[in-house]
């Protein structure tokens, strides 16, 4: 009797079909089936994971809903998506730079904005005193029409009172800074974690339940080192990888 190649655990809060869907997705992005361009048969997959064929079917159905594969009776399950977008992180990180070679259409759309007292931990990062006013801005980045990241930005209201207004005009944070008389800015530091996407993120990024987001918390400063922007960005983990390079200076 053959031992299952990949084991899955029961009774741990994650349904078997989801664990298997994740396992198949992982194998796809590792290029395991790229030679044939389609998945092994349902029975073969069931043996590989040591589960029933119905369970594999449930996993494939969820991958189909994600647009990762396409199952056709008699033909098999074809793989639709494979590679990830490389998002460069450097000392001069901008949305457009580095992505233009990888895609045709880059858009940054407006979600919401506001004006509120700065939360303590953000005030600290922006070198403000807690309670100082700050401008908030929520944005969504799309690459060739596919949502890639959503972000919540904080700016000191005293220095950049109309960031939201200028952003809605220009659809660019760099240009909104320029409109405030700041021609250039650099990345101070970036903190990267990963977690499951919540409901709002899944809606904005068009993610399936259980999907993973890469969360980056970044602080930008002007050339004198004074903080000008605090950003919390969430990337769809299965669509991007973050690439840290020294070429454009340290991040």
Q: Which is nearer to its own copies, 97 or 158 (CB)?
A: 97
Q: Does 72 contact DNA by CB under 7 A?
A: yes
**CA–CA separation, 204 and 202 (whole Å):** 6
Q: Which of 12, 100, 129, 193 binds DNA (CB under 7 A)?
A: 12
Of 137-156, binders to its own copies (CB under 8 A) are none
Angle at alpha carbon of residue 156, lines to 233 and 250, rounded to 5°? 50
Please tell me what DSSP assigns to residue 108. E
Q: Which is nearer to its own copies, 78 or 86 (CB)?
A: 86
Q: Choosing among DNA, its own copies, none, which partner's interface includes residue 112 (Cβ < 5 to 8 Å by kind)?
A: none
- Collapsed DSSP state (helix, strand, coil) of residue 191: strand
**CA–CA separation, 83 and 27 (whole Å):** 12
Q: Does 73 contact DNA by CB under 7 A?
A: yes
How big is the chain by its Cα radius of gyration, in Å? 22
Q: How many residues bind DNA (CB under 7 A)?
A: 26
Burial class (CB in 10 A: 0-12, 13-18, 19+), 36: exposed
Q: Which of 74, 145, 181, 246 binds its own copies (CB under 8 A)?
A: 246
CB 154 within 8 A of CB 122: yes
Site string for DNA, 26-65 (x = CB under 7 A): -------------x-xxx-------xx-xx-xx-x-----
Of 108-127, binders to its own copies (CB under 8 A) are 121
Q: Does 181 contact DNA by CB under 7 A?
A: no
**Whose CA is closest to 89, among 224, 212, 1, 220?**
220
Which of the stretches 11-19, 131-139, 156-164, 179-187 binds DNA when contact is defined by CB under 7 A?
A: 11-19
């Amino acid at each position: 009797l053959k031992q299952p190649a990949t084991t899955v655990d029961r009774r741990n809060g994650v349904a078997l079909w989801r664990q298997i869907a994740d396992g198949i997705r992982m194998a796809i992005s590792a290029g395991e089936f790229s030679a044939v361009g389609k998945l092994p048969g349902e029975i073969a997959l069931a043996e590989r994971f040591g589960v029933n064929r119905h369970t594999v079917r449930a996993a494939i159905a969820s991958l189909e809903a994600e647009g990762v594969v396409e199952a056709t009776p008699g033909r098999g399950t074809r793989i639709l998506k494979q590679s990830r977008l490389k998002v460069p992180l450097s000392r001069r990180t901008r949305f457009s730079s580095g992505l233009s070679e990888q895609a045709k259409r880059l858009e940054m759309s407006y979600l919401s904005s506001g004006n509120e007292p700065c939360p303590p931990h953000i005030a600290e990062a922006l070198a403000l005193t807690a309670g100082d006013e700050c401008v908030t801005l929520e944005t969504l980045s799309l690459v060739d029409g596919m949502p890639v990241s959503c972000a919540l930005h904080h700016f000191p209201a005293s220095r950049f009172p109309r960031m939201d207004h200028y952003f809605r005009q220009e659809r660019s944070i760099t240009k909104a800074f320029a409109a405030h008389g700041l021609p250039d800015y650099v990345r101070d530091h970036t903190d990267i974690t990963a977690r499951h996407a919540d409901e709002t993120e899944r809606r904005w990024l068009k993610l399936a339940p259980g999907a993973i987001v890469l969360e980056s918390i970044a602080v930008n400063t002007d050339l004198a080192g004074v903080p000008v922007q605090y950003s919390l960005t969430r990337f769809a983990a299965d669509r991007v990888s973050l690439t840290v390079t020294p070429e454009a200076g340290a991040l």
